[in-house]
Each structure stands twice: as C-alpha cells, then as structure tokens.
Structure 1
Amino acid sequence: MNDYKKIITALTGMCMVSIVALGLVGCNPSPPPPVEQTKTVTSGKPVVYQIFTRLYANTNSTNKPWGTLEENGVGKFNDINEAALKSIKELGVTHVWYTGVPHHAVIRDYTAYGISNDDPDVVKGRAGSPYAVKDYYNVNPDLAVDPAQRLQEFEALIARTHAQGMKVIIDIVPNHVARHYESLSKPQGVENFGARDNVTVEYQRDNNFYYVVGENFRVPEAQGDYQPLGGESHPLSDGQFDEKPAKWTGNGSRLAQPKFDDWYETVKINYGVRPDGTKDFPELSADYAQKDLLAHAQFWQGKDVPDSWIKFRQIAEYWLAKGVDGFRYDMAEMVPVEFWSYLNSVIKQKNPQAFLLAEVYNPAEYRNYIRLGKMDYLYDKVEMYDGLKAVMQGKCGTDVIAQVQEGMSDIEEHMLHFLENHDEQRIASPEFAGSAEKAKPAMVISTLISRSPTMLYFGQEVGETGALDSGFGDPSRTTIFDYAGVPAHQRFMNGGKFDGGQSTAEEKALREFYRGVLNLSHTDVIAVGDYQELHSHNINAGQGYNNKLFAFTRATQAQKWIVISNFSAQKSGPLRLSLPASYVTAWALDKPVYELSPRLAHHSQFSTLAVKAEGASVELELAPYDSLVLAIKDSK
C-alpha cells in the first residue's frame, strides 16, 4: 500500500536504512483442461516476475488522464499468450505474480453480470485499487474477454503459465477488504464478510469488522482540487456512501469520517485483536519459533479461532484448488502473527512447495513473521532496497550494503530482493535515479548477494520511466488505479508479439542485461553458495578501490565467484581487488596464478588472479555502472 510505505520512508529517512535492525545512523558508518507440462530444473534461486495484470498486455497508447477502459484500453488474461509467457521465461523466471487478479472495486457497469456498481466516493481511481477486494471468489471482470467466463479465463492463464514451467502467485489482502464487499461467487457454505456481525458493539471476537457504534460513515474531505473520476459526472458520485454504522478503516482509523490520506476505500478485518490491542485467541509460546510446520498445524488442530481466520483459510484453499502455487500477502504485519502460523501451516500441508511472500516493513518484526508466522519470504524493502536506492541516488556510499547484509545474515535467505514493484518509483524516473543504467550495479548486487529470491517488475527490464499522469496515480510510479498503457513495455510487446520489435537499441540491451543476471542466479547453484564481503578489506587497502564500488564472493566446494560492481558514472580506473590470506587456505589456492572466467562481463577489463601467501589479487578496470562476475578456473 503506497500510503503506508510513504510513512515508513519518512520515518526511516533517506539513508538511515539500518536504524531499526542494526542501530546504525548516517550514510557512511564504519482446474482447466490438462496441458502438457514443461519440466523445470532449478539449481539456483527463484526469480519472481511481477505483472500488473490490468496493464501488462494493454496495447492501447492513448493514455488520457482519467480515461475510461474504452478510451485507454485494458489488458486481458487472454492477451498474456504463449509468446508473452515465453518472453518472461527467457528472463530466468520461475514464478509469475499476477497482481490485481481478485475482483476489486471498479468504476464500470457490470450489472448485466449481476455485479453491483461501485461508488466513486469510496474507490481510488477509475479502475480501482487492487487492494480493495470486493469478491475473493472471483476475478476482476475488466480482465476477461467475456466477464461471465472471467474465472475460466483466469484458470486458462494458470494452465498456460504452468505449461511454460512457471508457477503462479496471486495476492491475498488479509488486513482489509473493499468498503462494499459482496461475493457473488462464494462456494456453498461460505458466508460474506460481516454477514453475522453484531453491529451494535465496537468489537466482538467473531465479528469480521470493527464498528464506530452510533455513527454513520461519512466520505472524507478531499484534498486540494481532487474530485472523483477527475470531476466527471456519475450517478453515485454525490459525496455520500451508505454505511450504518461506520466501520474502522483499513489502516486502523477509528473515525466515522476517515481522513483523505487514510485507506478510506477499505475496511479493517477483525482477527480477534481487541481495541486495546490484547489478543482474544490462543497464543504461541516462544519455542514455536524453532518448531516446524507440522508442529504449528498440530497446535491449531481443534482450536477455537476467530471467524475471520476461517474465512481467509477458506479463500486460500479455494485458490490452491484452482492451481495457484502461492500468495503475496499485502500488509501482513497489520495482522497478528498467530494467524499466519495458522494459515501458512494449513497451506503447506496442502502444497509443501507453496510460495508465501509477505509485505512487512518493520525490521523488528521480521524474525517473528518468518519463524512464528512461517513465512517463506518477506520484502527486503526497509533494509536492502532502501540502501541500494540511497547508493544509486548518491546519498550513501556502498558501506551500507555490507552493513545491511551483515544485519540480515541469520534470515537473509528469507528476504526477497527487488528494485521496483507496483508501490515504488520507477528507477528511470527523474524522482528516483533518472536513468535505467544506474540500476545495473544495484541489480547485480541485489540478485547475487544473498540466497534470497529476486523479483523483477514488468517494464523494469526495458527502462520504463513511469512518467504518465494517469489520473489518480502519481507520476514516477506506474499507476495502479487507472486504465493506462506502459510505453516502454508496449514497445517490447510489439502489438502482442512480445519480441521487442519496437524497442529501442538501449531497451534491447537493457533487457539482455537483466536476462543475463537473472539467469545466472536461477541456473547456477553457486548463487546459493556461501557469501563473504570483500568491501571492508578493500576500502582500507588504498589500491584504487573506493566507496562507489562493492565487492564480495560466493563459493561452493566446486565453484568460486568474485563479484564487483561500480556505482559511478565514471570508469573506476585501474585498481587491485584483494582477497585476504584466509581465502588462500579456505579455497585451497595452491597455484601462483589462476585464470578467471567471466560469467558476467560487458565493458570492463580484468587480469588473472595472482596468489601469494599474504593473499590473492586481481587487477581490474570497471566501466561506468558495470559489474564483473568472475569464476576462478580450476579452483578446488
């Protein structure tokens, strides 16, 4: 959620990315028809490709602010064809995260399909927020050629994705639902959220919502010159929304009239946490942090849990049965960790390989959500992303990278790395780095520094700038609220061929760079080998190495890699990268010289590895924003 992340960014500051976790300050401190499956053999790390589904395959380039679906177009499930999926697979992708799939509130008339109209006064944008889910048991009708068959069209996309050897992730938004939740497609025996709520009390354990007793909901006062739909007339756009009594808003606001910067389009789910913060459900003892999923499942067996827990378990089970392979949990830290133990242990009993990714921004809670909540992966936003962003923007030296990685050393394989997603600014936007080239060294480090998965946001690999003013969405971020096209990605799409036929030479070269880096991490087992940083040793060596460079090694018994990246717009100049004497022994370097094989190299130069008793070294010259990944030949 954009608004929450803005608060987090303001609190952490430009370059103080490690305050919470490390205590550091400053920038430079020391089921469809069966489809034949393609078998995927993975020896490296998972690679997630995030598609904003509404935008991904839209070929319309009108891009009128506040434009309708008819004016600006929309991508459909069916448009994500075999060619599109093969182009994704070529990037080394193992999992496709289809963002915005569950049916969310949207300003378009689908009453012919039995769907009620949504009110622009409580919908952000015209196309709606993907995180204001209206019906968890169906999909966004905008995404279907035939809205009556929308679920079947998504099931076919799941099958096509599986046929290319990739797995499917969708969102579950456990903290909140749309202001007007109404499931038309719920299975027999499943009730709507709030169907049995006692609305005369603020809180009751098995209520799905919290209530502002005695007050009706009032639409928030708009900020600036904002008007729903950009001021366009609409029968429901009257400054009113009928909700009696008012419910708490998704971000926890207890006001009957939330503020404009609250998540006013959503209502908060009650998980059995009383208004005073105490818990109205069984709690896990601390030793469950060391226990496995089966022990967690056994703990919850037969336990009396709040009704909202059961409803979200039913939702997860429904999508698993449809062939979905995992979930990205929005704002997971706003939901009690015990619920995650309950849900994730159920999911893993049904699909041990399910990919479970959580959006969590509080480093102090990371270990709880991994160890007690049994998450596979968390966003590494407040640590690694923020650190790399500050380095790219010239606000920090590369010291911060070593410090973040050290602080995460006990959980680093659980911290998913990314440089863009639907909430973040595009790297090439002037508000971020102003050039997609500046992402190159950060991408090498983000991808290869740890055993964690890497995520790529569609359009990042061709340098999309996110410059459009689409209506509700902010320029610098590709809109998530509007109907729009994505220009750089559309050039790659080439009218549905997905072959880069209209891409510029620069865009083609950038995509090839991403393909090389991601495939290196996905296909080679050394990407999950042992990490050791060389930065601290070399920053003090005074042999041409500086705080615009970052170097480390990865190693298995069979392979040894040296990785170095240059964050400067200038050539590094000749430098000597040193490996301490401990490497000579640990890597059994018993020859005076070793040839180096480039696993990733573009315009930079390197020599052989010279070995002496006091250590080893290699002479290098790095081009601007370039990186080297060098494998030591014949090492033991």
Structure 2
Amino acid sequence: MKKILTAALILCAITASAQDKKTKAMPDKKKEAAAPQRKAVVYQVFTRLFGNKKTLNRAWGTKEQNGVGKFSDFTDRALSEIKKLGVTHIWYTGVPHHAMVSDYTAYGISNDDPDVVKGRAGSPYAVKDYYNVDPDLADDPSQRLQEFQALIARTHKHGMKVIIDIVPNHIARKYEGKSNPKGVRDFGADDDTSVEYKRDNNFYYIPGKAFQVPVSESYKPLNGEKNPLSDRKFNENPAKWTGNGSREPQPGIDDWYETVKVNYGVRPDGRKDFPEMPQALGGRPYEEHYRFWEGKDVPDSWKKFRDIALYWTAMGVDGFRYDMAEMVPYEFWSYMNSAIKMRNPEAFLMAEVYNPKEYRNYIQFGKMDYLYDKVETYDRLKAVIQGKSLPDPLAEIQLGLGDIEQHMLHFLDNHDEQRLASDAFAGTAEKGKPLMVYSATVGSSPTMIYFGQEVGEAANEDAGFGKPTRTSIFDYIGVPSHQRWMNNGEFDGGQLSAEEKQLRDFYSRLLNFTIASEALMGKYQDIQSINRKKTKGYSEGIYSFVRWSDNEELVIINNFSWVTKSQFNLIIPADVIRNWSLRDGTYRLQDQLYLKEGATLFVNNGVGTIAVTINPSESFVFKLLK
C-alpha cells in the first residue's frame, strides 16, 4: 500500500540506513543462485472485485447493492483465460481477513467499528486475523479457509503460482486472532502496556492516554450513515502508535488511523535491540542467512510474522507481496525470508520499497527477490507520456540499476496507482501501449499487470471512500471494462468493444512473448544516445535498445509520441554487431508482437542500420532471423 513516509517514521529509516555505506562497498554476489531461464508475469487481482457482476456502482453502496466477488468466481474457465494471457503468478490481493463494516457475527466474527475502518468494505491492509481469510470472499463464510484452499489448488492445476499479501508493519486497530493455531498467542496479548517500548512488546504505547478517533469536517464514516458503533469513540487505553508511525493519541484523518504499528525491537530513538548482521552476509545465499539466525534471541514480533508466513507456505501459497517493507528493519526480512526459502526455495518474494538508496539493502541483506521499480522507471514513464520528460533519462536509470535490475519488478498499474488508461495517467489505453512494451522488455525482472489493465480499465467510478482514477480497494464496486471481458461469468470477452478486444490481444501477444524469450533474460544495451545524436528523423518520442542471448537477438523500438509518425534509419552500433557475430550483409527481421516480416538489418563496414517507419504509440520487437 503506497504511502508517503512522514517524519514520524524516521526510526524505520534509521534501521535500514545504518549499513547503506557498507552495502555500496560490497562486491557483487549475484551468483548466489542460478538466474531463472524465463521472465515471470504477475497478474494482480483485487480478489473482492474480480468476480463481481453487478454494475450499479452506487457511491458508498453495500455489497448487496454493488455486489462482491468470491473465490468461486475464479472458475477453471477464468483461470484458463488468465493463463492464456501469459501469466505465471497470480497475486490475490486482499485475501487475509481484514477489518470491515459488514456483520459476520453469526460466524463468530466481531463487528468492526466504522470509526476505525476506511470505507465500507475496509482496507485489505488492516488485517484483523492473519490465520484466516476475508469472509466476504466465501460462498459459505464458515468454510472460507477451505474455499481459499480450493482456489490455491485450482490455480496450481492451471500452471500458475499463488501470491498473497503480508503486511508486517501494521495490523488492524482491532486485531482478533479467532483462528490462531494451537499455542499461538495474539498480537499484544503479552505486552507490558505501562511503557512506551519494550523489546518483546508487539506494539508501541502512549501510556496514560486513551486513543481518540480522528476528526474531520470533510469525512464522516460511512458517509454519515447511522451505525450503532459509529459514535466517534473507540476503546483503546492506553493508545498505541498508529501504523504510519504517528505517536499522537489522536492521529490525523490522513494518518493510517485504522492500523497500529508493529514493534520489531527498534527503540523510539532508532536504536536496535536485536543482533546486527555482519557485512559479509550481504548477498550471501539464504541458507547462510538462515544459519546466522538459528539460536539467536530475536523480538517476539519477528517470530509471530515468521510463523504466519510459514503457515501460508505450508498451505500451498507460493509467495508473498510485502506491504511497505522499508518500514520494517531489513534484519527481520533476512530472518523471515530465509526461513520461507528453507521451506520453499522457489518462493516468490516481492516488496514495496520506495527509497532507491535502500534497494540493495533489502535485496542483499533482506533477501527480497523483487522490489517495485516505482520511483525510477515507473515515475519516469509516467512523466514521458504526460509530456513532462523526454524518454532519454531511461537509459541512465537502467544503467544505475544494472547490478540489481533482475530484482526490479516493472509495472504500470496496481491497486495504489492511478490507472494507466485514466486521464490522470496516459489518458487512453492506446497511449499506454509503448510504456507496456518498454516495461516488459527492458529487464530480466518480472512484469506485473493489474486486472482490467489489459482491457483499458480507467477507474472512472466514485466508489465512496475511493475516488476516480484508482480502482477502490475500500469499497464494494464494479470494474466496468473488466466486467465486459468477464461477460457474466463466461470469461470470453463477449461484451468488449472491438478496441478493447484488440488491446487484450496486444497484451496477450506481448506477455506470452516475454515469458518465452531467452534474450529477455540475457544482455541489454542502450542504443538511444547514438541514435539521438546521429540519426535523422529520430524524433524526441522514440526510444530504442537491444537485448540478446546466445540464441536470440532483439531490437526494441518504442514511439512514446501519440501524434508523431517517424521515419529513420536506426543505427545498430559496431560493438553490438560484433557481440552478435554478424558479418557485412543483409538479415531479415520479424516483429514478435504481430509476427510480421519485412524489416531488414543491413550491416556495412561492421555497422548496422534498419529502415524504420513507426506510427504514434507503436512499438516493434524485432527478432533477428538467421
């Protein structure tokens, strides 16, 4: 869940930055594990919204009015069509049981107070019970865990892996572990609440002060609807620190007041009450990290979250997406991630980290497989398509990430960000196509798309708590473009427009190519600068690079301009021609998106040229045919 770090979160940054200089000085140890042979594609679905067929879309609507999707909506047909799109992993967002306003007391679940719930459906990042799943998602809430287990099995049957969220930084203000395995103590059950901090407390406290509900003139829980619990009161005494680090007994309306921050043994002044990792351990295999932590005395919260992750791993979950990982010390991540990898070496571990200076710490010390490439690649692409930047700085970004590029997951849509097709981003799905080609082909790291992106969802709905441009995660709402593809459960695109069908076909072609391409796991070289300097007609919106392996050579050209058609002779520099072992002559090229031939690579005196005519928002992925 993307959020802006505030001054109150300095203690979190301190824990991560202590070894920043050490990390930069470390030798490259990328050979700790064999690189995967093909790229991965992650399909993020907001589980509650995916199967919803209702189209009323009333602001602040109930689930009865606006509808709610279920685990069972992921039918064999649905999963088969997702697989055909080129997907290798499904991230089922919002699965763990989180706080919500709906009444499930008939199933032994307590009601949540609207004063500390965002929206009506609640935030999936305010988890209420880590050992069970959201009752909204089940046909029979009493069998909700079994229904999710069946979904895991169906997903695996269709050849895809399962990812769910874990949110170690914070939990719901009213956490109740009603499903704890035998011997598992609830968060805070053994805390000494008389002090602000103690190493093995699960929370930070504000002794002598009770929690007060935030007040705002512009926001009323449930939009002012009457509810027995909505009285601007919530019983929490003493008050706990709020999830984003606020130490006030009455957090602000923009704080994460629906959550409380978890204590990982970091004192309020930033000092750490746990063993520090030796510099030499950075970048070493997970087995060495696991051995380092064996027998070490670590804070109680570390053990609780490790056990939660291993619980889901044992159930068949193949990986995790970690919310706001940089707000938790990377020493903890080493401890937990190495334990997960010991159970499942192929576990897929991806995380939100928005501080580029900390990327290497969370990869090399924290043992993360993948981090969001948001702050650099995503932000630059957004600026390019909005006319605020030339694409040329992308080369510098890729060069700067060269030693860790295989760990930097690329995306253009997710639940936190404005939809790619929205007016606040690209404006149209068509304009977003070259951004998608770049994101999917520039690195060897995974590509992620968000359900509905492939049919141009623009999130125009006012859902209530959630507003247009983002598909709301807090409300019961429909996703119109996706619903047209879903076609009342047929999952055949029967209601899509011709343009939407063409867009989904484009995504399918691109993603399936990426997971099959050997070159995209190979080498990268920028050819942008030489063409910008020397090539006549190479307009400002063009961006090009090459990728290759022993058996495949690619030339990738994107036209980020949505108005300018360009014609030019693209230069393939001499060093690339040498690396590809090409002699002077003529070589056929085939575009891998639409399998069209006709382009030709001419090599003369060791330098290559390709005559290119490229339309606005068009891309080519040329493969050398030998």
Distance (Å, rounded) in 1 between the aligned partners of 2:138 and 2:430: 36
Secondary structure of the residue that 2:500 maps to in structure 1? helix
Aligned to 2:170: 176
Matched, 1:380 2:378: no
Q: 2:98 aligns with which of 97, 104, 107?
A: 104
Matched, 1:4 2:4: yes
Secondary structure of the residue that 1:366 maps to in structure 2? helix
Aligned to 1:552: 545
Correspondence 1:47-446 to 2 at 5 A: 47-222=41-216, 224-446=217-439
Distance (Å, rounded) in 2 between the aligned partners of 1:260 and 1:226: 8
Secondary structure of the residue that 1:628 maps to in structure 2? strand
Contact kept in structure 2, 1:606 and 1:618, CA below 8 Å: no
The one-character-per-residue Cα deviations of 1:94-130 (angstroms, maximum 9, x if unpaired) are 1000000000001011011110000000000000000
Contact kept in structure 1, 2:553 and 2:623, CA below 8 Å: yes
Distance (Å, rounded) in 1 between the aligned partners of 2:118 and 2:49: 17
Distance (Å, rounded) in 2 between the aligned partners of 1:121 and 1:236: 8
Distance (Å, rounded) in 1 between the aligned partners of 2:425 and 2:564: 22
Contact kept in structure 1, 2:584 and 2:606, CA below 8 Å: no
| 1:113 counterpart letter in structure 2 | Y
Aligned to 1:618: 610
What is the Cα deviation at residue 285 of structure 1? Answer: 1.4
| 2:372 counterpart letter in structure 1 | Y
Residues 1:628 and 1:5: Cα distance change in structure 2 (over 3 Å): farther
What is the Cα deviation at residue 2 of structure 1? Answer: 4.2
Structure 2: where are the runs of 5+ without partners?
8-19, 22-35
Contact kept in structure 2, 1:578 and 1:615, CA below 8 Å: yes
Q: Bigger CA drift: 415-424 or 588-597?
A: 588-597
Q: 1:607 aligns with which of 578, 581, 599?
A: 599
Distance (Å, rounded) in 2 between the aligned partners of 1:140 and 1:293: 32
What is the Cα deviation at residue 344 of structure 1? Answer: 0.5
What is the Cα deviation at residue 43 of structure 1? Answer: 4.6
Aligned to 1:538: 531
Contact kept in structure 2, 1:94 and 1:165, CA below 8 Å: yes
Query: Could you state the TM-score of these two structures normalised by the residue count of structure 2?
Result: 0.94
| 1:549 counterpart letter in structure 2 | I
Contact kept in structure 2, 1:328 and 1:357, CA below 8 Å: yes
| 1:289 counterpart letter in structure 2 | G
Distance (Å, rounded) in 1 between the aligned partners of 2:282 and 2:583: 44
Secondary structure of the residue that 1:50 maps to in structure 2? strand
| 1:540 counterpart letter in structure 2 | K
Aligned to 2:25: none
Q: 1:586 aligns with which of 554, 579, 583?
A: 579
What is the Cα deviation at residue 352 of structure 1? Answer: 0.1
Distance (Å, rounded) in 1 between the aligned partners of 2:458 and 2:625: 40
Distance (Å, rounded) in 1 between the aligned partners of 2:584 and 2:591: 20
Aligned to 2:30: none
Residues 1:5 and 1:569: Cα distance change in structure 2 (over 3 Å): farther
Matched, 1:473 2:444: no
What is the Cα deviation at residue 607 of structure 1? Answer: 3.2
What is the Cα deviation at residue 341 of structure 1? Answer: 0.4
What is the Cα deviation at residue 426 of structure 1? Answer: 0.6
Distance (Å, rounded) in 2 between the aligned partners of 1:554 and 1:117: 54
| 1:622 counterpart letter in structure 2 | I
What is the Cα deviation at residue 557 of structure 1? Answer: 1.4
Distance (Å, rounded) in 2 between the aligned partners of 1:526 and 1:251: 42
Contact kept in structure 2, 1:584 and 1:613, CA below 8 Å: no
Secondary structure of the residue that 2:566 maps to in structure 1? coil
Residues 1:133 and 1:434: Cα distance change in structure 2 (over 3 Å): same
Secondary structure of the residue that 1:290 maps to in structure 2? coil
Contact kept in structure 1, 2:283 and 2:363, CA below 8 Å: no
Aligned to 1:523: 516
Q: Percent identity?
A: 60
What is the Cα deviation at residue 140 of structure 1? Answer: 0.3
Matched, 1:511 2:504: yes
Aligned to 1:31: none
| 2:541 counterpart letter in structure 1 | K
Contact kept in structure 2, 1:219 and 1:257, CA below 8 Å: yes
What is the root-mean-square deviation of aligned Cα atoms in Å?
1.6
Secondary structure of the residue that 1:49 maps to in structure 2? strand
What is the Cα deviation at residue 226 of structure 1? Answer: 1.2
| 2:617 counterpart letter in structure 1 | Y
Structure 1: where are the runs of 5+ without partners?
8-19, 22-41
Contact kept in structure 2, 1:575 and 1:621, CA below 8 Å: yes
Distance (Å, rounded) in 2 between the aligned partners of 1:614 and 1:594: 13
Secondary structure of the residue that 1:496 maps to in structure 2? coil
Secondary structure of the residue that 2:177 maps to in structure 1? coil
Aligned to 1:32: none
What is the Cα deviation at residue 349 of structure 1? Answer: 0.4
Runs of 4+ in 1 over 2 A off after TM superposition: 1-7, 570-573, 604-607
What is the Cα deviation at residue 529 of structure 1? Answer: 1.3
Residue-pair matches, total: 600
Secondary structure of the residue that 1:169 maps to in structure 2? strand
The one-character-per-residue Cα deviations of 1:464-487 (angstroms, maximum 9, x if unpaired) are 010100000121000000000000
Secondary structure of the residue that 2:354 maps to in structure 1? coil
Residues 1:433 and 1:5: Cα distance change in structure 2 (over 3 Å): farther
Contact kept in structure 1, 2:590 and 2:599, CA below 8 Å: no
| 1:4 counterpart letter in structure 2 | I
